[in-house]
Copies of this chain bind each other. A is one copy, B any other.
Amino acid sequence: MTDAADPLVLFMPSGKRGRFPVGTTVLEAARSLGVYVESVCGGRATCGRCQIEVQEGQFAKHGITSSNDHISPVGPKEKRYAEVRTIPQGRRLSCSATIQGDLVVDVPPDTVVNAQVIRKAAIDRLIARNPAVQLCYVEVDEPDMHKPLGDLDRLNVMLHKDWGLSDVLVAQHLLPDVQKILRKGNWGVTAAIHRDLETSRPNLIALWPGLHNEAYGIACDIGSTTIAMHLVSLLSGRVVASSGAANPQIRFGEDLMSRVSYVMMNPDGREAMTKAVRQAINELTAKVCAEAEITPDSILDAVFVANPIMHHLFLGIDPTELGQAPFALAVSGAVHTWSREIDLAINRGARVYLLPCIAGHVGADAAGATLSEGPHRQDKMMLLVDVGTNAEIVLGNRTRTVAASSPTGPAFEGAEISCGQRAAPGAIERVRIDPITLEPRFKVIGVEQWSDEEGFAEAAEKTGVTGICGSAIIEVVAEMYLSGVISADGVVDGAMAAKSHRILENGRTFSYLLHDGAQKITVTQNDVRAIQLAKAALYAGIKLLMEKLGVETVDTIRFAGAFGSFIDPKYAMVLGLIPDCDLDEVKAVGNAAGTGALMALLNRDYRREIEETVTRIEKIETALEPHFQQLFIDAMALPNKVDPFPKLASVVTLPERKVLADGDGEGGGRRRRRSRE
């Protein structure tokens, strides 16, 4: 069809290129190369979605001299569009503009056509689009008594003719409305076609009279504590609203296991929790829609991630099996369903996709985080950690990826800590301890000054100093270690009591007085033990995966989730939560699970990618690994009894090792009643 004399066209940013005869529309050229350029109106120059921009200049590397003279001048159709709507300077409609010579064509990632309300840019990355939902405008033949095809059948004829769609499966609920819509649109209608798997029949899920030029989707992470949602334009890829809400299941149980217990003890427990989470999601959907000034009916696709128990409860599945060995998931693969089947208050034809779960304790949220951070896409050995009551751990690279969960317990979240509290005004969030005097200084949420700075006392009067939040627990224990208040084995050194009034005796153990105000804020031996147990569980899980892969070190570390966003990587490493690594390579990535959901929403190729990746991820059940116990015991020490931390040591002076004995000794991974008591 083409020959070497035809103009050469290079599409950016994809870099795809080809030769096309003069007169080919840029849209046709893009499509034939597999470059995704949106078009709703099917080349009628009315939707404005297919905008492109010519990059002028000499592109020596590609052997192309690109110029606006090499594209056809603006014709009457484009002129009419520009008059009715507006089109940014330099932009062209690729359905009308034809190739006249060599071109470098830029496909802008985020073509805004309608005046979308943008309140925040939720994520900072560009996601190439290939959504499961496509809008297709068609003009349908009027009924003809000589060829008595039904209205819907003639619509299908045009979907085939104009859009190459065959064997379209029509959502039952549209049947009663087809005739009205066709007549209202004067035989011009926009069909929403959903096709996720290439092998599936395309589904007609929604239909509007005339040109309907917008479609939305939601990407949602159902966390045990928080539900986070992005609302996205499926046609531009733009996140138009993001929001979060508390998971109302908290009233049935704070953590996952207590919710499983609730189901086991209450006959209607499963149903009540399913209803609660679906209702919360519907409320959150209404909220993001209100923010973007659209109706939930405009939402045509929805992607969810969740940990296994949230995942099951959301789908109406009893999670009891997940509460006991062998932790059998009802379904681990990706779930495809319909909004109506799970009572979501979005478009009735909308489809729902849940990412696959990796294992009974490593859920679709970990799959989402994996998709987002992509250990499987790169050569570096990446450690991806999502710390919650259970830590979900993924380790690997392009060659091989392994995953596990480890029961860290709630200590990192401030539960089990005597003066622990949630991050709120009055909570200590940063701590430093002078290694000579053992005097602390700290920062309190809601107060600008550090505690040793002028004006702190006055400022802190409003908030009070009420407790220690998650990030500060890590820091205070790490600082206690660095200043010698606790030994590498985590024992508060009673001998220090002689040196500082901050070391208090409590029966057989000692504690550290962090603040002596209206409320005494102390860090007790038990608090240190709780942190040690939590971090040992996490580190042992990581180590097990490293051993599985036969690696001594990791190249890069990602902390997913809220916890990772607040802690200081240095202190996390001093405590030995994570293995030794360049501190520059330790990054908090926020709600990576939610970002993964967003990717799967905007591009169904990512669905296939994570489905395939999950089948390749090797799952390690920590409880079944005989070596786990030893790794756990070694990890009780700060930073670790056996593993060196050379990279950390190059930036932080780690104390000499000293061994002290407290009531627990160092041998126990669990607190036990001492027999002599």
A511 within 8 A of B: no
Task: List the one stretch of A246-254, A330-338, A539-547 in contact with chain B.
Answer: A330-338
- One of A70-78, A90-98, A316-324, A380-388 at the interface: A316-324
Q: Shortest Cβ distance from A187 into chain B, in angstroms? A: 11
Task: Tell me whether B331 and A178 are in contact (CB under 8 A).
Answer: yes
Q: Is A156 in contact with chain B by the CB < 8 A criterion?
A: yes
Determine whether the beta carbon of B199 is less than 8 Å from that of A329: no
| Measured CA separation A357–B336 after assembly (Å) | 32
Q: Which residue of chain B has its CB nearest to the CB of A316?
A: B176
> Which chain B residues lie closer than 8 Å to A330 at the CB level?
150-152, 175-176, 178-179
A30 CB–B CB distance under 8 Å: no
Task: Check A61 for interface membership: any CB of B closer than 8 A.
Answer: no
Check A333/B200 contact, CB under 8 A, given A176-B316, A176-B317, A326-B145: no
Per the bound structure, the CA–CA distance linking A201 and B199 in Å amounts to: 8
- Considering the chains assembled together, what is the distance between the CA atoms of A172 and B274 in angstroms? 14
Residue ID in chain B nearest A336 by CB atoms: B169
Asked if A167 CB lies within 8 Å of chain B CBs, one says yes
Chain B neighbourhood of A325, CB < 8 A: 145
Cβ contact within 8 Å between B175 and A145 = no
Distance (whole angstroms) from the CB of A343 to the closest CB of chain B: 11
A521 CB, nearest partner CB in chain B, Å: 42
Q: Name the B residues within 8 Å of A149 (CB-CB).
A: 329, 332-333
Q: Determine if B148 and A342 form an interchain contact, defined as CB atoms under 8 angstroms apart.
A: no
Q: How far is the CB of A375 from chain B (nearest CB, A)?
A: 19
Chain A positions 126-153 with a Cβ under 8 Å from a chain B Cβ: 142-153
The reply on A400 being an interface residue by CB < 8 A is no
By a CB distance below 8 angstroms, the chain B residues around A172 are: 315, 337-338, 341-342
Number of A positions contacting B (CB below 8 A):
55
For A173, the chain B residues whose CB sits under 8 A away are: 341
A353 to chain B, nearest CB (A): 12
- A621: interface (CB < 8 Å): yes
Report B-chain residues with C-beta under 8 Å of the C-beta of A357.
150
Q: Which of B144, B175, B321, B624 is close to A331, meaning CB atoms less than 8 Å apart?
A: B175
Q: Which of A144, A176, A331, A623 has the most chain B CB atoms closer than 10 A to its own CB?
A: A331
Q: Which residues of B contact A158 (CB under 8 A)?
A: none
Query: Which B residues touch A150, using CB under 8 A?
Result: 328-333, 357
Bound-state CA distance A147–B143 (Å) is 57
Q: Which residue of B lies closest to A179 (CB)?
A: B330
A359 at the B interface (CB under 8 A): yes
Most chain B CB within a 10 A radius of its CB, from A176, A315, A330, A332: A330
A360 sits at the interface (CB 8 A): yes
Q: Which residue of B lies closest to A149 (CB)?
A: B332
- Check if A450 is an interface residue, CB within 8 A of chain B: no
What does the 1/0 interface line of A167-199 toward B look like (CB < 8 Å)?
101101101101110000000000000000101
Instruction: Output the nearest chain B residue to A333 by Cβ-Cβ distance.
Output: B153
- Residues in B whose Cβ lies below 8 Å from that of A342: 172
What chain B residues lie within 8 Å of A316 (beta carbons)?
Answer: 175-176
Contacts of A146 in B (CB 8 A): 619, 621, 624
Interface residues of A in 156-172 (CB under 8 A from B): 156, 167, 169-170, 172
A138 to chain B, nearest CB (A): 16
Are A179 and B318 also in contact (CB < 8 A) when A152-B333, A167-B199, A360-B148 are? yes
Chain B residues, CB < 8 A from A360 = 145, 148
What's the Cα separation between A590 and B191 when bound, in Å?
A: 42
| B148 x A329 contact (CB < 8 A) | yes
Contact with B along A599-637 (1 / 0, CB 8 A): 000000000000000000001010110000000000000
Nearest Cβ distance between residue A615 and chain B, in whole angstroms?
9
The answer for the CA separation of A444 and B316 in the assembled complex, in Å, is 63
Q: List 9 A-B contacts (CB under 8 A).
A: A143-B328, A145-B326, A145-B360, A148-B332, A149-B329, A150-B331, A172-B337, A180-B318, A197-B201
Q: A146-B621, A179-B328 are in contact. List 13 more A-B contacts (CB 8 A).
A: A142-B326, A145-B327, A145-B621, A146-B624, A148-B358, A148-B359, A149-B329, A152-B332, A152-B333, A167-B197, A172-B338, A179-B318, A199-B201
Tell me the A residues contacting B by CB distance below 8 Å: 142-153, 156, 167, 169-170, 172-173, 175-176, 178-180, 197, 199-201, 315-318, 321, 325-333, 335-338, 341-342, 357-360, 619, 621, 623-624
The 4 closest A-B pairs by CB, nearest first: A150-B332, A143-B328, A148-B359, A150-B329
